[in-house]
Amino acid sequence: MTTPPRNDSAAPRILLAPMEGVLDHLLRDILTQVGGVDRCVSEFIRVTDSLLPDHVFLRRIPELHHGSRTGAGVPVRAQLLGSDPAALAANAAALARLGAEGVDLNFGCPAPTVNRHRGGAVLLDEPDLVHDIVAAVRRAVPADVPVSAKMRLGHRDESRMLDCARAIDTAGAAELVVHARTKADGYRPPARWDRLALIREAVALPVVANGEMWTVDDARRCLEQSGCDALMLGRGMVADPGLALAIRRPDEPPLGWDSVFPLVATYWERLGSTVAPHSRAGRLKQWLNLLRRRFPEAEAAWDLVRPENDPARVTALLFAGQPGSD
């Protein structure tokens, strides 16, 4: 098998992944301010058998109020999850009316609750249904609104991997992101980036590589093994807000804690106006838990606030007198 060569002189296009319960509009805004991200995808909006009211879309993707862009001007594509082609099409049309940059379809979520309700990665056992969903959404939105999809290598195994990729391609999608693990793999390493080369050979649409990229070296190896020229970063970008910039500019010094801590302080401040007090500390600890993978200072911060849930105590312990905490 031969994979078409990739133009190594060009920096890869970088997308920010949807991460349910983690990468909401607050964190999207902060991470895109750092730079290096070309496009975001929202957390999924679950569709059953009805048309959702506009306020559901606007609450989940407040960037729709601002041209479907983050504060840094980075486009945000709306992601839908479900199994009813007609209902998904109707909701996609509503998003297009609200000015969504595009519509992305979720065939990759591994969450057991989602899969039990016939959503996400479980649909990869049904390539015909995957095709019908993409085709229905493509027909429902204007031609200038891109429709994309995200999938894993399969549900329990990879036996229908190429069938699903071809189904998405022939249904009219403009782009396919592939998380290089099956649902059964969960998030256990390794990600099998070499499988993406097989998918690229089987389809005509652009394929974006996703999964297990924590460092610049990981990204380099993924590009080499997959032959892709675009990446989607998820946990790696949350753990290292400078990762996208570092991939683009590997010869420049990486983002340090002195630059990251003010981002954490901004996030904490914004949580105060959008999240209930009893949930605020948990959201901060969730981010610190990933940041400590990359920054020793985040490990120390995590140790300080881990037992605390009172916002005033967290502020006193972590932010009082710290640079960037005003």
The span from the CA of 148 to the CA of 102, in Å, is: 8
Show the domain range for 103.
13-248
Does the pLDDT at position 225 exceed 80? Answer: yes
- Residue 105 located in a structural domain: yes
Answer yes or no: do 219 and 291 share one domain. no
Answer yes or no: do 216 and 138 share one domain. yes
Does the pLDDT at position 157 exceed 50? Answer: yes
- Residue 294 located in a structural domain: yes
- Residue 8 located in a structural domain: no
The span from the CA of 105 to the CA of 85, in Å, is: 11
pLDDT tens for residues 271-280? 999 999 999 9
The span from the CA of 268 to the CA of 321, in Å, is: 15
Closest CA to 108 of 16, 203, 177, 196: 177
Neighbours of 224 (CB within 10 A): 15
- Residue 1 located in a structural domain: no
Answer yes or no: do 278 and 236 share one domain. no
pLDDT at position 117 is 86
Average pLDDT, stretch 302-323? 87
Please say whether the beta carbons of 85 and 136 come within 8 A. Answer: yes
Does the pLDDT at position 8 exceed 90? Answer: no
- Residue 4 located in a structural domain: no
Domain count, the chain: 2
Domain boundary residue among 223, 248, 273? Answer: 248
Average pLDDT, stretch 215-229? 98
- % helix, strand, coil for the chain, step of 5: 45, 15, 40
Give the domain CATH number at 236. 3.20.20.70
Answer yes or no: do 164 and 261 share one domain. no
- The helix/strand/coil state of 15 is strand
Does the pLDDT at position 326 exceed 90? Answer: no
pLDDT at position 113 is 87
Answer yes or no: do 157 and 283 share one domain. no
Q: Which of 82-86, 87-91, 248-252 has the lowest mean pLDDT?
A: 248-252
**Looking at this protein, which amino acid is placed at residue 287?**
W
Average pLDDT, stretch 101-128? 94
pLDDT at position 184 is 96
Does the pLDDT at position 42 exceed 90? Answer: yes
Q: Give me Rg for the CA atoms of the chain.
A: 20
DSSP 16-48: EPP-TTTS-HHHHHHHHHHS---EEEEEEEE--
Q: Catalytic: 109? A: yes
Average pLDDT, stretch 249-278? 94
Q: 32 in the Ramachandran plot: left (φ > 0), alpha (ψ -120 to 50) or beta?
A: alpha
Domain boundary residue among 186, 214, 248? Answer: 248
pLDDT, mean over the chain: 94
Neighbours of 110 (CB within 10 A): 19
Does the pLDDT at position 94 exceed 50? Answer: yes
Does the pLDDT at position 3 exceed 60? Answer: no
CA distances from 314 to 29, 283, 284, 304 (A): 23, 12, 9, 8
pLDDT at position 247 is 97
Q: Quick one: pLDDT band at residue 9, thresholds 50, 70, 90?
A: very low
Given 40, 109, 222, 228, the catalytic residue: 109
pLDDT at position 301 is 95
- Residue 127 located in a structural domain: yes
Domain boundary residue among 229, 248, 267? Answer: 248
Answer yes or no: do 237 and 288 share one domain. no
DSSP 146-177: -EEEEEES-SSSSTTHHHHHHHHHHTT-SEEE
